[in-house]
Amino acid sequence: ERVKMSKRSGKALTLRQLMEDVGVDAMRYMMNTRSCDTHLDFDINLARSQSNDNPVYYVQYAHARICTLLDKAETNGYDYEKYDSSLLKQTSEINLLKLLASFPQLVLDAAEKRIPHKITQYAFDVASQLHSFYNAEKVLDESQLEVTKARLALLEAVKITLGNALRMVGVHAPEKM
């Protein structure tokens, strides 16, 4: 739904109206997807949608997916407190590790330069890499217990990082969806 905003003609939405329409999480995330000096087209229908086309839904779903998988691992008795990270050799695993390693510097840069849109872009990139990893690798594999432990530890790190990124922009990191 495209609405041309104009104060003169009386066609304007307040932030409160927008927040009530699409929800706080969607509004905060979407408002932080662009640099403050860049034009923002806010797609209300996209922000309302509960599909992977909606970036906030996509990122929140990634977090919830990890939580569900970690809960399942705990229920099935997997203990990943001790693991060997050198077993993470697949491209999808390496890509996630590299992305996670870049987070502290990205946060520092975003804070110093006042560019919060870098945090939302990062969260989207992590979610995208997570979904690629999840589709490429079997996480809970009884025949490869040591690899499973390493993958679960990786997912725990992704969960923490993704949760922190979402909280930095004021967005809820749900455990279930």
Triad 47, 166, 160: Cα angle to 5°: 140
- Residues constituting the chain: 177
Instruction: Identify the CA nearest to 67 among candidates 172, 177, 164.
Output: 177
Which has the closest alpha carbon to 54: 17, 83, 19, 25? Answer: 25
Q: What is the pLDDT of residue 6?
A: 56
- Within a domain: residue 155? yes
Low-confidence ranges of the chain (pLDDT < 70): 1-13, 36, 38-40, 42, 45
Longest dimension (CA), the chain: 67
- The answer to the question of residue 29 being in a domain is no
Asked, for residue 116, whether it belongs to a domain, the answer is yes
What pLDDT, on a 0 to 100 scale, did the predictor assign at position 24?
Answer: 79
Please state, in angstroms and rounded to a whole number, the distance separating the CA atoms of residues 153 and 83. Answer: 7
Q: Domain limits at 145?
A: 51-168
Secondary structure of residue 115 in the 3-state scheme: coil
Q: What is the CATH number of the domain that holds 134?
A: 1.10.730.10
In a domain, 20, yes or no: no
Count of domains observed in the chain? 1
Domain assignment present for residue 16? The answer is no
Query: Which one-letter DSSP state was computed for residue 38?
Result: S
Residue 11, strand partner residues: 6
